[in-house]
Amino acid sequence: MEYIRMENTGAVAVLTVDRPKALNALNSHVLEEMNEALDSLDPSIVRVMIITGAGEKSFVAGADISEMCTLTKEQGSAFGRKGNALFRRIETLPFPVIAAVNGFALGGGNELAMCCDIRICSENAVFGQPETGLGITPGFGGTQRLARLVGLGMAKQLLYTARNIKASEALRIGLVNAVYPPDELMDAALRLAEQIASNAPIAVRACKKAVNEGIELGMDDAADLEVRLFGDCFETEDQRLGMGSFLKKEKHPPYLNR
């Protein structure tokens, strides 16, 4: 692949958008290669994926304006559907996905980060949805995920003003979970991924399903979903191993050895 690097070291996969001369901007080719990279993953092996950008300046600076500027209405809709479908695919992967935001995360870059389960960033990260300043709306899920993550009022302010925010403000409003010095970001992302991967994979995936699907349901239906997934865990080797280790006073079940 020309613009996507996928490194898979056992339970943790790292997907890097590698187009640094264009600040890792997303064009149709990049989106297609990201889909191809996801096709290459073995979900029976991978337990966590990290997404980051190449270079020191940018995670993903946005969708490629040089491609978008000549699109017709129909072509614009098609481009939006392509990006939305990919980001929805990432959001619904069975295993957790961590965005390691190492610089600009604007427009499509912020939308890519938001479709991940967890976002951590470097101190030089910048977030924003600048689309209204360009005469368009976000097209890859930004209007929907931003409101769900930071609340309606803050999301509308960021969308309407097209204002960029720094890492410290992204942390304050809950858009990211943690901020690190640039040279510590990937180590922090890998530590977090390894901590997740060391836990029972079936239970982690069930938690993701419960949160992602339950948030769209009424409380009664969401509770029913949780109870069903909770019960399903009792038919797994993960549960027997985990509870057996606890009763034997073992430090941590060896899930990664399975």
pLDDT tens digits for 138-180?
999 999 999 999 999 999 999 999 999 999 999 999 999 999 9
Statement to judge: residues 242 and 185 lie in one domain: no
- Domain limit, last residue, from 152, 175, 197: 197
Among the listed residues 32, 56, 111, 237, the single catalytic one is 111
pLDDT tens digits for 175-197?
999 999 999 999 999 999 999 99
**CATH code at position 27:** 3.90.226.10
Statement to judge: residues 186 and 237 lie in one domain: no
Is residue 235 annotated as part of the catalytic site, yes or no? Answer: no
Statement to judge: residues 101 and 171 lie in one domain: yes
Statement to judge: residues 28 and 128 lie in one domain: yes
pLDDT at 224 over 80: yes
Residue 257: pLDDT band (50, 70, 90) is low
Q: Give residues with Cβ within 8 angstroms of 258, minimum separation 6.
A: 237, 238, 241
Tell me if 95 sits within 8 A of 201, measured CB to CB.
yes
Statement to judge: residues 85 and 190 lie in one domain: yes
Statement to judge: residues 121 and 242 lie in one domain: no
**CATH code at position 224:** 1.10.12.10
Q: How many domains would you assign to the chain? A: 2
Statement to judge: residues 150 and 239 lie in one domain: no
Residue 250: pLDDT band (50, 70, 90) is confident
Statement to judge: residues 12 and 57 lie in one domain: yes
Provide the domain limits for residue 85. 4-197
Q: For all residues of the chain together, what is the average pLDDT? A: 94
H or E element that contains 9:
strand 4-9
Average pLDDT (117-129) is 98
The pLDDT value given to residue 8: 86
Whole-prediction pTM: 0.94
Among the listed residues 2, 123, 131, 184, the single catalytic one is 131
Higher model confidence: residue 253 or residue 27?
Answer: 27
Find tokens 């003003």 and name the residue: 161
Statement to judge: residues 108 and 8 lie in one domain: yes
Percent of the chain with pLDDT over 70: 99
Burial 53-63 (b: 16+ CB within 10 A, else e): bbbeebbbbbb
Average pLDDT (44-54) is 96
Helices (H), the chain: 28-39, 65-68, 73-91, 108-114, 142-150, 152-161, 167-172, 185-197, 201-214, 219-233, 237-247
Is residue 131 annotated as part of the catalytic site, yes or no? Answer: yes
Statement to judge: residues 159 and 67 lie in one domain: yes
Residue 253: pLDDT band (50, 70, 90) is confident
State which amino acid sits at residue 80: G
Average pLDDT (209-215) is 96
The pLDDT value given to residue 63: 80
The pLDDT value given to residue 153: 97
* Degrees to nearest 5, angle at CA 144 with 138 and 148: 135
pLDDT tens digits for 53-105?
999 899 999 888 888 888 899 999 998 999 999 999 999 999 999 999 999 99
Statement to judge: residues 140 and 64 lie in one domain: yes
Statement to judge: residues 125 and 40 lie in one domain: yes
